[in-house]
Structure 1
Amino acid sequence: MIIKRVFHPVGQGAFYREKINQFNFIYDCGAKKCGKDSPLKNEAQNFSKKENQIDLLVISHFDSDHYNGVKFLLENNCLIKKIMIPHLNEEIKLLSIIQRITRETKNSENLMSDLKMIINPVEELKKIMNKDKLQIIQVLPKKYEFDENIEGENIEYSALQDMIISGTCITIEEKNNWIIKPFNLAINITIKSDILLEINNILKLGLNDLDLNITNILKELSIKIEDDTLLKERKIEIVHEELKIVYNNLGLEKNKYSLCCYSGLKNDKGKKKIGCLYTGDYDAKDEIFPLLNFYDKYINYIGIVQIPHHGADENFTDQLMLKNIRIALISAGKNNQYNHPSANVVKDIANHCMVYIINEVNYYEENYIRYKNKWSN
């Protein structure tokens, strides 16, 4: 078996790929800078010229800097066979929309694209792909219980259905020891009627008391987003501030969903340690124990960890630094507005293992990290 990993220098975003024998696996493909001369476009197109097929593309969550590079993959006729995304319940969809707006201070194309993706990701991805019959696999969230059997069903890649449970072990080939195991954590959130009323009033959705529920709010939001009237009726700066108060009243200030993936050996007897844990923008600081317990069987196989949310301090805990970790990856723009990665995070990681900050600098010279392993099973 031959495994090749490439962590592409796209700046403030993420674009990671693996080649397992002839199987191409991509985890996220997007960046804040995504124009015609962007590192993202160059990296995606260069990949597409070399490889004409992606077997599985995972999108961790619906922020544009994690998915807007898909269009560049398609420009060179790269075939994307299957896309895997987190399934979102209505509460998470509504809260994600509010959170996305509160992070925006001006009406941008990326904002509207993200809102459409959150409301109906399957249809939006089919539009991007211009392909009605594209298989999009949604990973259902699984409420974590410490006494629960968390080892999911083994399913061969070719037999994947449109819905799978979190924890399913996806085998690449029938006799292959390599698996991809997704984790979508269920967050139980109850949104009370007074909060729904505030959202209705701030966004001018026009729902009466009898119709005021999450399902109807999402329907009205979908209409206003599609016809581009959601933020034209009021200045986004005002909506931004008012929704931020609502969001903060719920006690939520971080990304509350992100599809994580373990990619590595199903059983390496604790010797090779070449598995990789991809985390997207997962809230590791508050939700580290569900993550570690979920992947407990594979902890000793993981040698590489993607640090969540571009190295943001509010998403990081040093408990993510597993004892076998050799490399920690942080994807962040060189001069981004968010001050990612946090200096404290980098310093903390450096006490445990090598840390690589993958930005857009010198990407034309391919001055970035390539990690390659070969072995025989």
Structure 2
Amino acid sequence: MINRVFHPIGQGAFYSENHIGFNIVYDCGSSGKKRIAENVVKQSFLPNATIDILFISHFDSDHVNRIPVLTNNFKIKNVILPLLHPEDKVLLINIYKALGRTDVATLIETPEDIFGNDTNIVYVDISETDKEINEGSINIENLTNGQIIRSLTELLAVDYDWMFVPYNYLHYERNLKLKNLFLQYDLDIDRVKTDLGYALYHRNDIKKVYKKLNGGINENSMFVYSGSIGDNHSFYTWHLLDENGRVGCIYSGDADFNRVNIRNVFARYWDKVGTIQVPHHGDVKCYNDLFFDGRSYFCPISVGENGYGHPSSAVIQSILSNNSIPILVTEKNSSTFRQYIAKRN
């Protein structure tokens, strides 16, 4: 039995899968109440459990700031991060240092300082296309520290008949918005990249830019498809049984469905997809309904108290009109969304 959980973390993201001895996490952060979020993370696995893979979609604080709770309570074998271009990496590091978020800056600059030497740090290269490409497969047990894999490489948990397929894309439009806002505040983006002192001196203006972008200064965002290797699984959700075995899930972080055609990217697995995490807390600017194909989908949305209008009523209406189920996962324990997946006889 597999237990997939969309945890009640509020305005952030924290999702996990327990495969009876094999655990994965996708993102771990929240902008909500710290104590509530930390308790949710601590209670997500049994004491001293091992997390076989931690996937990090991108480096916005509300997706990564509870990672120290994971490292303090559980062993993490592999961390999989989106690879950044060197210039973008330095820019993000200096921006986060200027914002006083040295924890996020360290995660980007020297993740081994957070996870330790016993954790493999693996990077997913940027894809230049949103078309399906078969990049082969790797047994998860064979991942090595510092390894760079291509987007759409199948990571196989062979003993559990399961795979995870990451896809890292670059949001060029977000980069353009960042540059334009820097110009608006008379900030020299090249100096921010090369001169930490300059960034620290202009920290107040950088905070204004960060706020206007709703935290979205990261150009990269990494999707992950999670699904069975074979066709012999079904799942129960809220006492509903999907006899068609569409147990696959696409985790999308804060990605933009207007920039990536997920049906094209994950075409090889699409017939197995039954759950799609709605990105960016249901922000209408990051959403379209082109992935719907007449079938029903579970569409969890992580959202908490916020001033951004998340989730958009237009997004909720779109999901419902496409015969699918929007599921709001908030700070309340009662909003926890679980899926129980089992092999068919």
TM-score of the two chains, using structure 1 as the length reference: 0.75
Equivalent residue number for residue 117 of structure 2: 132
Find the aligned partners of 1:168 and 1:10 in 2 and give their Cα distance.
29
1:344-363 equivalent positions in 2, closer than 5 A: 344-352=314-322, 353-361=324-332, 363=333
Say if 2:192 and 2:199, in contact at 8 Å, map to a contact too: no
Tell me, yes or no, if structure 1 residue 25 matches structure 2 residue 24: yes
Query: Per-residue deviation at 1:305?
Result: 0.5
Query: Per-residue deviation at 1:43?
Result: 0.9
Query: Per-residue deviation at 1:17?
Result: 0.4
* Secondary structure in 2 matching 1:55: strand
Say if 1:171 and 1:179, in contact at 8 Å, map to a contact too: yes
Query: Per-residue deviation at 1:59?
Result: 0.7
Q: Give the number of equivalent residue pairs.
A: 325
- Picking from 309, 312, 332, the partner of 1:339 is 309
Query: Per-residue deviation at 1:304?
Result: 0.4
Query: Per-residue deviation at 1:264?
Result: 0.3
Find the aligned partners of 1:52 and 1:344 in 2 and give their Cα distance.
40
Query: Per-residue deviation at 1:122?
Result: 5.2
Say if 2:151 and 2:167, in contact at 8 Å, map to a contact too: yes
Find the aligned partners of 1:71 and 1:255 in 2 and give their Cα distance.
20
Distance 1:15 1:188, change over 3 A: closer
Query: Per-residue deviation at 1:91?
Result: 5.1
Query: Per-residue deviation at 1:376?
Result: 4.1
Find the aligned partners of 2:16 and 2:43 in 1 and give their Cα distance.
13
Query: Per-residue deviation at 1:343?
Result: 1.1
Tell me, yes or no, if structure 1 residue 88 matches structure 2 residue 58: no
Query: Per-residue deviation at 1:58?
Result: 0.4
TM-score of the two chains, using structure 2 as the length reference: 0.82
Query: Per-residue deviation at 1:127?
Result: 2.3
* Secondary structure in 2 matching 1:73: helix
Amino acid at match of 1:369: F
Distance 1:277 1:235, change over 3 A: closer
Say if 2:124 and 2:150, in contact at 8 Å, map to a contact too: yes
Distance 1:31 1:21, change over 3 A: same
How large is the RMSD of aligned CA atoms in angstroms?
A: 3.4
Query: Per-residue deviation at 1:188?
Result: 6.1
Distance 1:81 1:243, change over 3 A: closer
Q: Kindly, what percent of the aligned residue pairs are identical?
A: 28
Higher share of residues assigned strand: 2
* Secondary structure in 1 matching 2:169: coil
* Secondary structure in 2 matching 1:258: strand
Could you say which structure has the larger radius of gyration? 1
Deviations 1:86-128 (A, max 9, x none): 0011354467679x78xxxxx7544x544x15xx6250x3222
Deviations 1:345-377 (A, max 9, x none): 11111222111100002x2xx552221121147
Tell me, yes or no, if structure 1 residue 374 matches structure 2 residue 337: no
Equivalent residue number for residue 303 of structure 1: 274
Unaligned residue ranges in structure 2 (runs of 5+): 233-242
